[in-house]
Structure 1
Amino acid sequence: MAEQQKIVILGAGESGVGSAILALKLGFEVFVSDFGAIADKYKSQLSARGIRFEELQHTEAEILSAHEVIKSPGIPDKAPIVKKIIEKGIRIVSEIEFAGRYNKAKTICITGSNGKTTTTMLTYHILQKAGLNVGLAGNVGQSFAKQVAEDNYDYYVLELSSFQLDNMYEFKADIAILLNITPDHLDRYDYKMQNYVDSKFRVTQNQTSADAFIYCLDDEETMKVMANNKFEARLFPFSLAQKVEQGAYATEDTIYIQTNKNNFNMTISELALQGKHNVNNSMAAGIAAKLLEIRSDSLRESLGDFQNVPHRLEHVARIQGIEFINDSKATNVNSVWFALESMNTKVVWIAGGVDKGNDYSMLYELVKDKVKAIVCLGKDNKKIHDAFDDKVEIIVNTASAEEAVNVAYHLATKGDTVLLSPACASFDLFKSYEDRGDQFKAAVKEL
């Protein structure tokens, strides 16, 4: 019986506290453990409900007496407490897996190395504007588990990272979207690309012929898997390079979406999101919308008036004719490729942070073509120097957002763009990529 079963939750952030709230409602005994400090807002949510918790430690006797552990996606499997849980044979699941057992709404699940937050927010915007009763969760929005406990949505749009997918087993997406797969987080996957690819494809697990899988026909890693595996779901590819019968494709100036007898087209210049990668994001979201039978006039309006998320190619200011762009969410090389590819000016590029096993070679041509100077923002900038010393005349080291912005401002001239697009995690100098982006924006406004 559920009331005798104990659920332990590792990590007391948004997903952990949400899981605790749902588990309590379902009648489980609940204990929350965080090795770090718990934010006041989460402590008050736990205390108000009488949920037991600890911070700054893991009490093994408490944790290892669990029937099941819900683990925050940020905690790696090599963490000592996680190893002990695995050794004891206690099942570890993600918040999404746990909440999915009790969710009756339809799910649109979005993953990919790049563009997933933008596509998730765009899909949510389309559904909400069309009048659907829709929740937003996963890597963005409020905890999925908390919403399952307290709300009554008909649809959820879920952004799923590979870390969340890793601890999902029975969960099923009604509509799965895989945008692309490029090297990222390889430190969590034994530096084996195939492990990371397998993780991303978990978004399709358990799908049936009643479900849909939306994917990029132009993505090399995706297509390798598609060629060697059979999928139960109905397939809807999207492409910038070739025409497709079912799915979406783009010509030079128009996107076309076709799902069964449902046709839609829109000129690319009308899309709110510009740049090739964003055409892909718009097509993926558009296919999902047409599968849900959203009217063409509503879809057209939503694709045209969407405002992108903060820290993703976010315009900050124009000062003395110099454009400042905050792309702090670009924590891998491929994200930077997309950012540089969309620039139509010379760029002073602010990069650096905690390297995740980056291979910068894919940026060489773009950097030679577009970047006039690199401003390093990180404690250890050796890899950036090694990669670009012979490709860019000026590379400068800085140790704070304020210093980086000041140096970049003096290196740029009228008509240039100063682009913060780090290619690295933020934890050497900042609390998070949001903190890094906010400090960048504040420094720009002080110029």
Structure 2
Amino acid sequence: MTDQRQQDSLSSDPPWLIYGLGRSGRGVARFLHGEGLAAEWLDANPGAEDQALMQELGFQPGSLDRRYQTVVAAPGVPIDHPDLLALQSSGAEIIGEVALAARQRPGVTLVGVTGTAGKGGTTTLTAQLLRAAGVNALEGGNIDPPLLDVIDRCEVAVVELSSFQLERIAGTRFPVAIITNLGIDHLDRHGSVENYHAAKLHIADGQQPGDVLLLPPAMQLQGEHLRGLLALPQARHFDPARLALSDGTPLLDPAELPSGIHPANAAAAVLATEAALLVLGREVPDLAGRLTQALRQARPLGGRFEEVGRWRGVQFIEDSIATRTLAVQSALEHARPPIVWVVGGRDKGAELAPLRETAQGRVRQVVAFGEDGPRFAAELGLPSDIITAQDGMAAMQAAVAQAMTHLPEGRGTVLLAPIGTSFDLYRNYQERGAAFRQAVQEWTAAQPAPGDRP
């Protein structure tokens, strides 16, 4: 709860407006209620859970005819939504949950992580390394839980940031910021690659002298006006081929990382952890030893290139969230060949040409399912099988069984890196990943034990 001076400065007359409920809006509502602030809400299609929470908190529906001082908009609402433009023209400031958290909890150090691919894995790994160094660190933001659900329980919040969230951070300071990579995504929202990259680069807007911005060794930016980022004095590059502290102290060979931990994510997380410790003014005895041990024990984020089963020498890798070209390309590069690649879902505009190149010599067969799976298979130009089942679980069971017919020698990888979104047959990528896991478990359980006769 804020003190009285903060409470007075956060006028509840006019009330705050929560625009867009769902996961983010519920977090905002709980936080504002905990601060003792009055709020109203607007949502074009509120779910039953949302309405029940608003009623429980005593928050009433708002109106576009009412004047608000601050509107906290959900990330999924476009920045140029007519309602938001109307509210803004009437004098309201439009912010997001990240800016709200930063303003209300200035004592919490924020480590920001964004990128086209790898931001979730880097976020969770950075938090794990900070905890190993003795820091009370928690992850949140674009991944579960929302930032506002953890901000009061940590001294450092490691925040995964989508381009949507970064449109509304209003100069929020991230003393340590990471851009994992930049590719092409969300053109339906941003309109162009230049606009998408510009949204991502807002992560550095609030940085001050002495802050750290971590970038991949070779990052190409669309638009000449964005190239100045690479010349910022706080910009440093992480090296995926070398896990070491900033002074060169080695940690471990990237090949020793646990399955599902990407070397680039690990390299960025190590330097971010070291930078955050400097921000906190904290010296950690044998930091290299602690981080090495933590990296060996690191846990991958579920749904991100995670081994979910094994049969003889075949690995089953679930990367259900891999719908961006960079993420799929990374999965193909790190899976052990020969690969049977399971693709499908609803097309979101991923570039397939780079994937064709990466797959050459590594992918033995494509198994395609779902709405746009057959088209993916055709455009990839690789040997393929088409699964026609229209039930999500049945489609995944058939895909796993068919994939295994192409690995009779009992070695290689069945890789779910689907390219398309999950919304054709599943509620979300987590449900799609869970279906893959279940299908793998069922298939392996049905195989005869070694030595059994068929």
Say whether the 8 Å CA contact 1:323–1:417 is kept in structure 2: yes
Q: CA RMSD in A?
A: 2.7
TM-score by length of 2: 0.84
Say whether the 8 Å CA contact 1:217–1:223 is kept in structure 2: no
Structure 2 vs 1, CA of residues 307 and 92 (structure 1 numbering), >3 Å: closer, same or farther? same
| Displacement of 1:106 | 0.9
Counterpart in the other structure of 1:402: 397
Supply the distance in 1 between the matched residues of 2:351 and 2:230 (Cα, whole angstroms).
32
Does 2:316 correspond to 1:324? yes
| Displacement of 1:84 | 4.9
Structure 2 vs 1, CA of residues 37 and 227 (structure 1 numbering), >3 Å: closer, same or farther? closer
Match of 2:97 among 95, 98, 107: 95
Counterpart in the other structure of 1:392: 382
Say whether the 8 Å CA contact 2:40–2:59 is kept in structure 1: yes
Letter in 2 for 1:210: G
Structure 2 vs 1, CA of residues 394 and 196 (structure 1 numbering), >3 Å: closer, same or farther? same
Structure 2 vs 1, CA of residues 16 and 128 (structure 1 numbering), >3 Å: closer, same or farther? same
Supply the distance in 1 between the matched residues of 2:16 and 2:215 (Cα, whole angstroms).
36
Structure 2 vs 1, CA of residues 439 and 82 (structure 1 numbering), >3 Å: closer, same or farther? farther
What SS class does the counterpart of residue 329 from structure 1 fall into? coil
Counterpart in the other structure of 1:202: 202
Does 2:252 correspond to 1:267? yes
1:244-323 paired onto structure 2 within 5 Å: 250=241, 254-258=242-246, 262-269=247-254, 271-273=256-258, 278-291=262-275, 292=277, 293-294=283-284, 295-319=287-311, 321-323=313-315
Counterpart in the other structure of 2:451: none
Does 2:134 correspond to 1:131? yes
Counterpart in the other structure of 1:50: 58
Structure 2 vs 1, CA of residues 175 and 257 (structure 1 numbering), >3 Å: closer, same or farther? same
1:52-131 paired onto structure 2 within 5 Å: 52=60, 61=63, 65-77=67-79, 81-82=83-84, 84-85=86-87, 90-103=92-105, 104-131=107-134
Supply the distance in 2 between the matched residues of 1:393 and 1:231 (Cα, whole angstroms).
45
Supply the distance in 2 between the matched residues of 1:344 and 1:316 (Cα, whole angstroms).
15
Say whether the 8 Å CA contact 1:108–1:174 is kept in structure 2: yes
Letter in 1 for 2:173: K
What SS class does the counterpart of residue 167 from structure 1 fall into? coil
Counterpart in the other structure of 1:246: none
Counterpart in the other structure of 2:440: 444
What SS class does the counterpart of residue 264 from structure 1 fall into? coil
Supply the distance in 1 between the matched residues of 2:48 and 2:411 (Cα, whole angstroms).
43
Letter in 2 for 1:290: E
Match of 1:24 among 33, 53, 62: 33
Say whether the 8 Å CA contact 1:139–1:160 is kept in structure 2: yes
Gaps in structure 1 of 5+ consecutive residues: 54-58, 241-249
Letter in 2 for 1:392: L
Show structure 1 runs of 4+ deviating over 6 A. Answer: 222-226
Does 2:385 correspond to 1:372? no
Structure 2 vs 1, CA of residues 365 and 63 (structure 1 numbering), >3 Å: closer, same or farther? farther
Letter in 2 for 1:257: L
Supply the distance in 2 between the matched residues of 1:264 and 1:204 (Cα, whole angstroms).
27
Structure 2 vs 1, CA of residues 36 and 407 (structure 1 numbering), >3 Å: closer, same or farther? farther
Letter in 2 for 1:70: V
Supply the distance in 2 between the matched residues of 1:20 and 1:369 (Cα, whole angstroms).
51
1:153-232 paired onto structure 2 within 5 Å: 153-190=154-191, 192-221=192-221, 227-229=227-229
Structure 2 vs 1, CA of residues 161 and 346 (structure 1 numbering), >3 Å: closer, same or farther? same
Say whether the 8 Å CA contact 1:268–1:279 is kept in structure 2: no
What SS class does the counterpart of residue 99 from structure 2 fall into? helix
Structure 2 vs 1, CA of residues 220 and 239 (structure 1 numbering), >3 Å: closer, same or farther? farther
Counterpart in the other structure of 1:420: 416
| Displacement of 1:395 | 3.6
Structure 2 vs 1, CA of residues 421 and 64 (structure 1 numbering), >3 Å: closer, same or farther? farther
Identify the range of structure 1 (227-236 vs 279-288) with the bigger mean alpha-carbon deviation: 227-236
Letter in 1 for 2:180: L
Supply the distance in 2 between the matched residues of 1:317 and 1:387 (Cα, whole angstroms).
29
Say whether the 8 Å CA contact 1:207–1:232 is kept in structure 2: no
| Residues 276-331 of structure 1 deviation map (CA, whole Å, 9 limit, x = unaligned) | x9222111111112221542221111122101111111111123643221110111
Gaps in structure 2 of 5+ consecutive residues: 1-9, 278-282, 444-454
Higher strand share: 1
**Percent identity over the alignment?**
28
Structure 2 vs 1, CA of residues 164 and 267 (structure 1 numbering), >3 Å: closer, same or farther? same
Say whether the 8 Å CA contact 2:337–2:362 is kept in structure 1: yes
Query: For this pair of structures, how many residues does the alignment match?
Result: 419
Supply the distance in 1 between the matched residues of 2:133 and 2:439 (Cα, whole angstroms).
39
Supply the distance in 2 between the matched residues of 1:357 and 1:78 (Cα, whole angstroms).
22
| Displacement of 1:233 | 5.4
Supply the distance in 1 between the matched residues of 2:259 and 2:433 (Cα, whole angstroms).
21
